Amino acid sequence: MAQPFPTLAIVLPTLDERENLAPLIARIDAVLGPAGWEAIVVDDASPDGTAEEARRLARADPRVRVIERIGRRGLASAAVEGICATAAPFVAVMDADHQHDPALLPAMLDAMQRGVCDVAVASRFVEGASLDGLLSARREKSSRLANRLARRIAGVELSDPMSGYFLMKTARARALAPRLSGIGFKILLDLLASAPAPLRVKEFPLQFGERRSGTSKLDRAIAFDFLVGLYDKSFGRVVPTRFALFGTVGGLGVLVHLAVLALLYRALGTAFLPAQAAATFAAMTFNFWLNNWLTYRDRRLTGAAAFLRGWAAFCATCSVGAVANIAVAGLLKQQGLHWLLAAGAGIVVGAVWNYALSSRFVWRRR
């Protein structure tokens, strides 16, 4: 007999959550009952076999579906893919690590069905909520600061715009999908900031639990993603976010270059040309490492072999960019342009060239 059409889809973005999946599906089943819902696991090719575990669950339970992403990473983009993959009229996004309590889902869904709000949000900071699952007082303080900044961008007054647990109409989320940046750690902020008019929000107190298994994904790069998301919503249409990051890393690389050059040439007495070559090598290596960690975090090269191949390709592309820089600057100077403007034009051309080649040949999508 055919299964009843699901009313609610629960999108579970995952990375190394194999041990958490089966207990979480059991918790959802206990709360929502045997019908009316589906769980969509969107896994970023987890090394621990999360996708295979999700497929095992799906073979025994048709309410479980799996999307395994190859060569793509990021919580926000995974949530978007899950949202666009369901025909259910309502969709929820929640973490798979058991810190988000499925017991809130019935009340959140009921509020949406009655038209009380446009988005139902599980909040860690509203009255009646608990933060026992946060790792430290420092992380709690950082989360509150992030929320204050996020409210300015989203234009919505709520206690927890950085919550990763929310529920809304699927059609509204799909309509907003083309406007989303897909950058950053929390998709709720992206949705709220992308809406043409402020969305009505109702908050539900969340008893924020402890991670059941595995380790937290909240590293410094993810914290940086939050700032990237704020930039993207504020200035991303003027200067593309990834290019802005690439340029910022390049600027830091200039400082590294000058520091190494000063150390070798002025402090240690090394001849200028060898010192300049070493400084260039050091700056390229620094730029590659930082771009790999931040600018291309969703395409990060891992493993010694991939890292070394990427580093070699990055050095090669930067060498081509350096030639373009010198050629353009020299040509413009010969045409009578002020040397400073000519140098600036060369730098811009070299940066664009390096960005284009690096995106294509170093951090290309597989």
Q: Could you say which of 235, 255, 281 is where a domain stops?
A: 235
Rounded to the nearest angstrom, the gap between the alpha carbon of residue 344 and the centroid of all alpha carbons in its chain is 32
Residue 2 belongs to some domain of the structure? no
Position 321: which residue type? G
As a whole number of angstroms, the distance between CA 274 and CA 268 comes to: 12
Q: What are phi and psi of 7, to 5 degrees?
A: -85, -35
> Two tokens at 94?
């929640």
Between 40-49, 197-206, 296-305, 322-331, the lowest mean confidence (pLDDT) is in 322-331
Q: How many domains does the chain have?
A: 2
Q: What is the pLDDT of residue 366?
A: 47
Instruction: Yes or no: say if 208 and 129 are a contact pair by the CB < 8 Å rule.
Output: yes
Contacts of 266 (CB under 8 A, 6+ apart): none
Structure confidence at residue 184 (pLDDT): 56
The stretch 218-236 carries a mean pLDDT of 61
Is the Cβ–Cβ distance between 210 and 132 less than 8 Å?
A: yes
Asked if the structure places residue 1 within a domain, the reply is no
Q: Which residue range(s) make up the domain with 325? A: 241-362
pLDDT tens digits, residue range 61-118? Answer: 999 999 999 877 778 888 999 999 999 999 999 999 888 999 999 999 999 999 999 9
Q: Please give the sequence-ordered ranges of beta strands (E in DSSP) within the chain, or none if there are none.
A: 8-14, 37-43, 64-68, 90-93, 119-123, 166-169, 201-205
Residue 168, φ and ψ in degrees, nearest 5:
-155, 175
Cα(28)–Cα(43) distance, integer angstroms: 19
CA distance 223 to 105: 27
Tell me how far apart the alpha carbons of residues 292 and 229 are, in angstroms, rounded to a whole number: 18
pTM of the model: 0.72
**Distances from the Cα of 119 to the Cα of 100, 123, 132, angstroms:** 17, 12, 25
For residues 145 and 18, membership in a common domain is answered with: yes
Within a domain: 225? yes
Of 104, 75, 105, 107, the C-alpha closest to 91 is 105
Given a cut of 70, is residue 156 above it in pLDDT? no
Inside any domain, residue 313: yes
Q: Are residues 60 and 208 in the same domain?
A: yes
Over the stretch 297-327, which tens digit does the pLDDT of each residue have? 777 888 899 899 999 999 888 888 778 777 7
Residue 278 shares a structural domain with residue 325: yes
Give the CATH number, domain containing residue 113.
3.90.550.10
Q: Which of 15-24, 231-240, 346-355 has the highest mean pLDDT?
A: 15-24
Q: Is residue 283 part of a domain?
A: yes
First and final CA of the chain: distance in angstroms? 40
